Amino acid sequence: MDDDVDEIEPAGDAGVVRVAAYAVCRRGSTILLVRASKRTEVEGTWFLPGGGLEWGETPADAVVREMREETGLVAASPRLLGVLTDVRARSSGQRVFSVRLIYEVREVDGEIRHETGGTSDEARWHDAATLATLPLAGYVNAALALSEK
């Protein structure tokens, strides 16, 4: 989920490159989000379920796996909405270039549960009014806008 704990590829002197897949999952007028745990540099920030690709894994498979790991819910029918990129610096000064593949998914099974020992510590459905009050990761609003097109 978070840039600060996943394995990433070196990008030379410029920093590192990280490719990750994230899920936009809606239930009626609510959106599924996960909260960054104390294992990250951004504890308490809310993200879309998702994270870095594993070796040889397709982005569509990664988004389904990450959603299950972080929320307990099974996703189906991943549909690529778009790609978002950004560059940020970690507290160590290391720069990270993130390539975020944003997928729309359907929730098909499972019961929501919180991840333990991972990069998120809570999974929850939020309505639009609540979203406006949450500390959201920088890419979340852009990702949600992709799903509204």
Structure tokens at 65: 């796996």
Residue 139 has φ and ψ, to the nearest 5°, of: -85, -15
Q: Label the pairing between strands 50-52 and 16-27.
A: antiparallel
CB-CB contact of 31 with 126 (8 Å): yes
Choosing from 7, 9, 122, 148, the catalytic residue is: 122
57 noted as active-site residue: no
Which residue reads 């990664």 in tokens? 62
HSE-up (13 A, CA, CB side) for residue 100:
27
Q: d(Cα 15, Cα 35) in Å, to the nearest integer? A: 26
Which residues are marked as active site? 122
